[in-house]
Structure 1
């Protein structure tokens, strides 16, 4: 890629953050800096690179999408990730969200149920230098017990209920951001574990691809 193209993409990232994200209330400077830095165009099919910084999700193959930039930023901000915290992502997809997380902490674990998609995301992350991200092919509903507990969990696919294994794998004081529901009835929730109790708060209506796997039915 030429220096001119790199500068063009940098400008597009700055415009994306200013016009799509900051103006909608995302104010955490660490999150905004990560969104300005991570090359979103590297995580979409080559034919869609010119649309990589548009205000919309994009298809990445296998019936999956890369989320709208604003939603990525919002979910990341809601998690309030501190340096050194251990974070689990459910639904690796393109790997873009994992890269954003890796700009905020050096302990990022991500699970993708679709093998081809997961391997492709891992290759992209390695190529871009995000070696601290560990990728697993598996059923995200079950979490990643051998690396639990986690300070924060982010779920980028929608189950129809909050998976108990994920709640169990949160530390005391841990946070999880997760879309829940079916079709156009989905809501994004912040789930917090405090004093052994689970508290959840609705944030905004959303539309994510459904969570799949053997364990997704209640």
Structure 2
């Protein structure tokens, strides 16, 4: 099947599944449609690009299934004018989608191989407002100012309070929290003054944060 056809049919099927979940945010779905997902998955898995399954990528990393990726972005509520920080670039798909909505996206990845590949994809899509950095993201991005939204795709065992300084007032972040050996929950933290309001969203399959690995890779 030709790539264009895979994209069209895959996206249409994804939209139907998302609508069944109550997700019909037009700005978000348009941004997803404009970001051909088959360009972000390994070529042999192109036909799986829009499936809900987790897809392995280089460096032992993986990208979320299409449904989970869009569900997270729907909960994150990125708006025009926002500055966004993402910890864990992976393939670059979520950063690219956010880049079509937000003013600027800074995304951090520890593996140089993934950074290089994601940079090439942003160039191919003409997304100049997505900045990819190779770094250890376990402390966020100190010195970058504040962000309206933060998306973290590596799990913590306790709520990452150090991000508080990097969120604007009224800003929010979504991060996976390891509850016990078998449970990882996506949580949304909204900053009001110096307080965080925590909301548990749904279970998710995320790997623990491993600090300082960027130095070696």
Normalised by the size of structure 2, how large is the TM-score?
A: 0.91
Unpaired runs of at least 5, structure 2: none
Question: In terms of mean alpha carbon deviation, does 140-149 or 128-137 score higher?
Answer: 140-149
Unpaired runs of at least 5, structure 1: none
User: 2:38 maps to which residue?
Assistant: 41
Match of 2:99 among 102, 105, 124: 102
The one-character-per-residue Cα deviations of 1:171-199 (angstroms, maximum 9, x if unpaired) are 11110011111653100101010022111
The yes-or-no answer on 1:84 pairing with 2:108 is no
User: 2:135 maps to which residue?
Assistant: 138
Q: Give 3-state SS (helix, strand or coil) of 1:201's partner.
A: strand
User: 1:208 maps to which residue?
Assistant: 206
Q: Give 3-state SS (helix, strand or coil) of 2:143's partner.
A: helix
Question: In terms of mean alpha carbon deviation, does 44-53 or 117-126 score higher?
Answer: 117-126
The one-character-per-residue Cα deviations of 1:86-121 (angstroms, maximum 9, x if unpaired) are 000000000001011012112110000112112211
- Report the alpha carbon displacement of residue 82 of structure 1 after superposing the two structures with TM: 1.4
Q: Distance in 2 between matches of 1:35 and 1:177?
A: 19
Normalised by the size of structure 1, how large is the TM-score?
A: 0.91
Aligned length in residues:
212
| Root mean square deviation, CA, Å | 1.8
- Report the alpha carbon displacement of residue 22 of structure 1 after superposing the two structures with TM: 1.8
The one-character-per-residue Cα deviations of 1:65-96 (angstroms, maximum 9, x if unpaired) are 11111211111111221101100000000000
Q: Give 3-state SS (helix, strand or coil) of 1:105's partner.
A: coil
Match of 1:32 among 29, 33, 44: 29
